[in-house]
Amino acid sequence: MRTPSHVVVDWGTSSFRLWALDAGGHVLGERRSAQGLAASAAEGFEAVLESYLAALGVREGVPAMMCGMVGSRAGWKEAAYLDAPVRLDRLAALATDVPAARRRVAILPGIAQRRRRHPDVMRGEETQLLALTREGHDGLACLPGTHSKWVRLEKGAVERFSTFMTGELFQLVRTATVVAPAVEGAPPVEAAAPAFARGVADALEAPETVGNRLFELRAGWLLADAPAEETLARLSGLLIGLEIAGARQRLGRLDGTVLIASGPAAALYRRAFAVAEIAGVTLRDAETCVRDGLHEAARIAFAPVDGAAR
Amino acid sequence: MRTPSHVVVDWGTSSFRLWALDAGGHVLGERRSAQGLAASAAEGFEAVLESYLAALGVREGVPAMMCGMVGSRAGWKEAAYLDAPVRLDRLAALATDVPAARRRVAILPGIAQRRRRHPDVMRGEETQLLALTREGHDGLACLPGTHSKWVRLEKGAVERFSTFMTGELFQLVRTATVVAPAVEGAPPVEAAAPAFARGVADALEAPETVGNRLFELRAGWLLADAPAEETLARLSGLLIGLEIAGARQRLGRLDGTVLIASGPAAALYRRAFAVAEIAGVTLRDAETCVRDGLHEAARIAFAPVDGAAR
């Protein structure tokens, strides 16, 4: 491997992704694992980081730029939230250095929305958005996940955002409620499943009935032996449809939304957006975005004072 | 204790309530415990029942009328669902006898709604409703709980109903999500709490945003140290408000609803109904209703063939 210019790390609650990049942002090497916050705190964050870097042969002088829950109070070093509205190109300038680390390690701040009626927070997604605003994108972005984010970007700034507990509710309902036996053993939801689209449509039509729809999933299994695969697809559709209905209420028309997602979530949300007749949707790969955002931040933060590295 | 005419039992998933009644339905003795289905299946349903009856001194010839999950597939003896619409005075005639029990034991059937788009089931609530229809009540009834029921009664029949997972979601969100640390240690929700009423009002105003409101509970705690007591009240209000919004969608105007509830749920739902400006609400005690309904069923089912016991 060539000597990298810097390494970048997306370190979340349950995942660790590291890339060694050259000055142009090209990937020279990478490591990924499930060694998130909980697993790393015991071993020590620096030990975890250095073991991956040693495996890649990255020498000590190479600085590391990070984002994600590693910057939370429960992480390596707290990187205090920036308050929205905030320009995303401020992120790099306000990165927090980890004191006494073996190499230079900086952690990007999250963003807090301190509106009394609508408090909200993000940590990690802001870095994906940085990749977007760097290209001049304005408007809405949707970042699906355990806690899906809907963000309004204006002139390079996060103007406002709303988080939805969609992914967390999905996991809970499917594993820990009376719906669980009705979806037991179901394979992952297919975006093309008609039951998924019907769930989205039903939630959009009458989102206030979601508590009833959830119970109907159980009753449909009890009374009519509804197949687990279909029931799980319907559950997923209902919760994603509810999120879209909520995003409309919070942010208005959703046309032109940039969907920042990877893997199965990308396909499910694209299908749901089609059911909701959201026009002009573009898809960006979430992993590419977080890497590009981290690279951009590293380029700014680690540049020589005279700016020659640009 | 005088010799009872019959005993009646409401035997649910997590609770057991038994009353020894005279021919007029007056309570001669009672027993209650947390020995619900799970706890009873291991020991044996008959052994559990007889131990309580022995403690009360009820002799073997006295018959027992039961309702609740004891009649489910996982219970003592399955009492097959009746299909809605169904007249409630049919319940007693269609009770299922437990074969080879030491005394006569009959279990009331639940009700199934086999509508393709809106499958639903109840088991136990139908017995509370029997007490209502016996008095000639028509219209809507709301039975709050782990799975809240909203029921349209017409001419003594359950015409249709909708179950909402309100109580189950409340328990899950408060214990098993990122909201949990924000409500840790909170005392039970007070119906008079302003945060409860605000939660109800917010959910009624924009029920589609519930997934966002839940995350805001966490963010309000992170950013503004919202007190656990207030956050829990708000959570309760949001979920009950969502249920009311859903019930309106499913059943239309809710004026004149009979609220069948006991304990804290009665106070919370009354307050929520007031916030939702539901007029003409009357409250019936849930426990009295189930006992009265069981008594009515026992009176019909256990009457001598010539009807002399009436």
- Assign residue A39 the CATH number of its domain: 3.30.420.300
pLDDT for B14 equals 87
Mean local confidence (pLDDT), A291-298: 97
Print the domain residue range for A82: 6-163+287-309
Tell me the torsion sign for CA atoms B235, B236, B238, B239: positive
Whether B208 has a pLDDT exceeding 70, the answer reads yes
pLDDT tens digits along B69-120:
999 999 999 999 999 999 999 999 999 999 989 999 999 999 999 999 999 9
Domain count within chain B: 2
pLDDT for B1 equals 81
Residues of chain B neighbouring A214 (CB-CB closer than 8 A):
165, 169
Confidence class for position A305, pLDDT limits 50, 70, 90: low
In a domain, A1, yes or no: no
Cβ distance B177 to A172 less than 8 Å, yes or no, reads: yes
Residues of chain A neighbouring B214 (CB-CB closer than 8 A):
165, 169
Task: State whether residue A114 sits within 8 Å of chain B by CB.
Answer: yes
**Which residues fall within 8 angstroms of residue B42, CB to CB, at 6 or more apart?**
none
Strand (E) or helix (H) holding B261 = strand B258-261
pLDDT for B303 equals 84
Residues of chain A neighbouring B116 (CB-CB closer than 8 A):
224
In a domain, A47, yes or no: yes
DSSP state of B92: G
In a domain, A48, yes or no: yes
Mean local confidence (pLDDT), A207-218: 98
Instruction: Name the residue of chain B whose CA is nearest to A121's CA.
Output: B219
Same domain for B197 and B146, yes or no, is no
pLDDT for A306 equals 52
CATH number for A207: 3.30.420.310
pLDDT for A38 equals 84
Task: State whether residue A248 sits within 8 Å of chain B by CB.
Answer: yes
Task: State whether residue A180 sits within 8 Å of chain B by CB.
Answer: no
**Which residues fall within 8 angstroms of residue B216, CB to CB, at 6 or more apart?**
A118, A119, A120, A163
Confidence class for position A310, pLDDT limits 50, 70, 90: very low
Mean pLDDT for all residues in chain B: 95
In a domain, B86, yes or no: yes
Same domain for B299 and B247, yes or no, is no
Task: State whether residue B119 sits within 8 Å of chain A by CB.
Answer: yes
Confidence class for position A39, pLDDT limits 50, 70, 90: confident
Shortest CA gap A212–chain B (Å)? 4
Same domain for B44 and B143, yes or no, is yes
In a domain, B117, yes or no: yes
Mean local confidence (pLDDT), B11-31: 95
pLDDT tens digits along A41-98:
899 999 999 999 999 999 999 999 999 999 999 999 999 999 999 999 999 999 999 9
Same domain for B68 and B132, yes or no, is yes
Cβ distance B168 to A147 less than 8 Å, yes or no, reads: no
Instruction: Name the residue of chain B whose CA is nearest to A80's CA.
Output: B223
Same domain for B143 and B173, yes or no, is no
Cβ contacts below 8 Å, chain A against chain B, sum to 133
Same domain for A233 and A292, yes or no, is no
Same domain for B18 and B52, yes or no, is yes
pLDDT tens digits along A230-280:
999 999 999 999 999 999 999 999 999 999 999 999 999 999 999 999 999
Please give the Cα distance from A172 to A179 (Å, whole number): 10
Please give the Cα distance from B87 to B271 (Å, whole number): 31
Best residue in A173, A223, A249, A251 for a mutation probing chain B (most B CBs within 10 Å)? A223
**Nearest Cβ partner of B208 from A118, A168, A242?**
A242
**Nearest Cβ partner of B119 from A165, A216, A243?**
A216
pLDDT tens digits along B181-206:
999 999 999 999 999 999 999 999 99
Same domain for B24 and B158, yes or no, is yes
Confidence class for position B237, pLDDT limits 50, 70, 90: very high
Same domain for A202 and A217, yes or no, is yes
On whether the CB atoms of residues A27 and A287 are closer than 8 A, the answer is no
Cβ distance B248 to A172 less than 8 Å, yes or no, reads: no
Confidence class for position B309, pLDDT limits 50, 70, 90: very low
In a domain, B140, yes or no: yes
Same domain for A94 and A220, yes or no, is no
C-alpha A18 chain-centroid distance: 16
Residues of chain A neighbouring B222 (CB-CB closer than 8 A):
119, 121
C-alpha A71 chain-centroid distance: 15
Same domain for A40 and A153, yes or no, is yes
Whether A309 has a pLDDT exceeding 50, the answer reads no
Shortest CA gap A168–chain B (Å)? 7
Same domain for B29 and B155, yes or no, is yes
Question: In percent, how much of chain B has pLDDT > 90?
Answer: 92
**pTM of the complete model:** 0.95
Mean local confidence (pLDDT), B237-245: 98
pLDDT for A14 equals 87
On whether the CB atoms of residues A243 and A142 are closer than 8 A, the answer is no
Whether A173 has a pLDDT exceeding 90, the answer reads yes
In a domain, B1, yes or no: no
Cβ distance B215 to A177 less than 8 Å, yes or no, reads: no
Task: State whether residue B239 sits within 8 Å of chain A by CB.
Answer: yes
pLDDT tens digits along A123-159:
999 999 999 998 888 999 999 999 999 999 999 999 9
Cβ distance B172 to A176 less than 8 Å, yes or no, reads: yes
